[in-house]
Amino acid sequence: MSVVVDQRSEFSGKITVYAWNRDKEKHAIKIQGVSSGYRKAIIERSELVAVADDRTGLEVGTLEVSSYATFIEVVT
């Protein structure tokens, strides 16, 4: 699983969560939250259906981040 921040302004960005599913079946993944330090993302979409044997991404919401952020925690 990986998290990508597409910084839209100096202080916020769109959060996309990617999951690599190496199984032959799809799996539903519930994103419970994304945070960077004390900042919590505003989650707009939370259920990612990871397709079989591929990478699947879901734009889950927005997060207040600084240009110097080095750590983003994902809770699944």
pLDDT along the chain (76 residues), means of 10: 85 91 94 85 94 95 80 67
Query: What is the 8-class DSSP label of residue 51?
Result: P
pLDDT number for residue 54:
95
Residue from 30, 34, 29 nearest 16 by CA: 34
pTM of the predicted structure, to 2 decimals: 0.81
User: How many domains would you assign to the chain?
Assistant: 1
Identity of the amino acid at 29: I
Q: Write out the residue range of the structural domain in which residue 59 sits.
A: 2-75
Q: In terms of DSSP bridges, do strands 47-50 and 73-75 run parallel, antiparallel, or are they unpaired?
A: unpaired
pLDDT number for residue 29:
93
CA–centroid distance for 36 within its chain? 12
pLDDT number for residue 22:
94
Other Cβ atoms within 10 Å of 13 Cβ, number: 21
pLDDT number for residue 74:
67
pLDDT number for residue 37:
76
